[in-house]
Amino acid sequence: MHFFIERDRFVHDVQHVAKAVSSRTTIPILTGIKIVATKDGVTLTGSDSDISIETFIPKEDEDKQYITLEQEGSIVLQAKYFAEIVKKLSGEEIELIVQDQFAATIKSGSAVFNLNGLDPEEYPRLPQLEEELLFRLPQDMLKNMIRQTVFAVSTQETRPVLTGVNLESDNGVLHCTATDSHRLAMRKTNIERNDENLAFENVVIPGKSLNELSKIIDESNDFIDVVVTENQILFKLKNLLFFSRLLEGKYPVTKNMIPTQSKTTIQLKTKPLLQTLERALLLSREAKNNVINLKTLEAGLIEITSISPEIGKVTERIQSQSFEGEEMRISFNGKNVIDALKVIDSDEIKVEFTGAMSPFVIQPIEQDHYLHLFSPVRTY
């Protein structure tokens, strides 16, 4: 193998692919990045067997030449060093040469690196997905959906299926749901599909995969194609493929958990509520339980309190924008509500209570495409 490649484009793609590589893998070849040079361009692959990322740098793209190929070939190089080395190279072009015995030479500017590589034949093949269950949505929409749900996945391995975000779709609508059984975040959006009859459920993507994917996709409205199979999901961007394993197991049915009526409905400004809860959390965090108390007062006033026996207490009153229904007194995990308020882009929200011991719902005003559900905390 022997080629010259434009430095910035190569560095950019190496950093993307390196995101999939884990230094803690038990499969030695997976600590490397696989580099394949053909007459069409250079393909890079990184994988930790849960996530695999493949990028392609074409020889030419939009009239710009990226690669000068001298000889086709392939090599696997240690991701950790290789990614750092190319980032620190100062030339505008990088030359990569592989001789016998997987000995690679990287030249750029005045620097010459001789690196020991690994046999590319040992590198596992990426899953070959039959293109079924295909849909597409804009990248920025997908990025938002990840941001607005993935924080709510469980971090505990006791119920592995809850460490992922569940996708289901019917009638051209995609639902993403995450829950750790104390709180739930749900987001839905319209999607484009190949087949009018597209419908699926129980497609559970590990939270970690979505966090990595989110770092790669842009805030652009270019479409991203999604292929779903029995145990893999594939996100297809221009010149980049992102594969993730799906979690096994039955995701809980969450639709029935969401209350359909409420006893008390309060409308509040999002940001002042968030700031009030953050102040209250300063004390309840110390008490280790993150409990914050909410009480309705006369004239639409809401009182937020929290107590730490050692440090003290905080009391704050905020005026609701509107108030309907019964008086309410409830305690909840303040950190969970703060997490949700941080991802709500709307200036005003609606809180719907069904009782002091029943789950309550927070939603942006006049928008039903996302919803956050919280269990109250028993304080006696």
Kindly tell me which of 15 and 229 has the beta carbon lying closer to a copy of itself: 15
Kindly tell me which of 236 and 335 has the beta carbon lying closer to a copy of itself: 335
CB 239, min distance to a copy of itself, A: 27
| Under rule CB under 8 A, residue 11 binds a copy of itself | no
Structural contact between residues 135 and 226, judged by C-beta atoms closer than 8 angstroms? yes
Contact residue for a copy of itself among 282, 327, 345, 346 (CB under 8 A):
282
**DSSP sequence for 36-52:** EE-SSEEEEEEE-SSEE
| Under rule CB under 8 A, residue 112 binds a copy of itself | yes
Strands 134-138 and 223-228: antiparallel
Stretch that binds a copy of itself, among 38-46, 234-242, 250-258, 310-318 (CB under 8 A): 310-318
Binding mask 189-228 for a copy of itself (x = CB under 8 A): ----------------------------------------
| Under rule CB under 8 A, residue 342 binds a copy of itself | no
Strands of 120-263 (E only): list them: 134-138, 164-170, 173-179, 183-190, 192-193, 200-206, 223-228, 232-237, 240-245
CB 207, min distance to a copy of itself, A: 28
Cross-strand pairs, 306? 314
| Under rule CB under 8 A, residue 286 binds a copy of itself | yes
Contact residue for a copy of itself among 214, 275, 354, 375 (CB under 8 A):
275
Contact residue for a copy of itself among 159, 313, 329, 342 (CB under 8 A):
313
Structural contact between residues 331 and 291, judged by C-beta atoms closer than 8 angstroms? yes
Main-chain dihedrals φ then ψ at residue 269, nearest 5 degrees: -70, 135
As a three-state string, the secondary structure of 353-369 is: ECCCCCCEEEEECCCCC
- C-alpha distances in Å from residue 356, one per residue of 23, 87, 263, 359: 47, 55, 10, 8
Kindly tell me which of 106 and 167 has the beta carbon lying closer to a copy of itself: 106
The token duo for 366 is 């006049």
The token duo for 363 is 């939603």
| Under rule CB under 8 A, residue 311 binds a copy of itself | yes
| Under rule CB under 8 A, residue 51 binds a copy of itself | no
| Kind plus residue range of the DSSP H or E element containing 148 | helix 139-149
Stretch that binds a copy of itself, among 50-58, 112-120, 159-167, 185-193 (CB under 8 A): 112-120
| Under rule CB under 8 A, residue 115 binds a copy of itself | yes
The residues binding a copy of itself (CB under 8 A) are 78, 81, 84-85, 88-90, 104, 110-116, 275-276, 278-279, 282-283, 286, 310-318
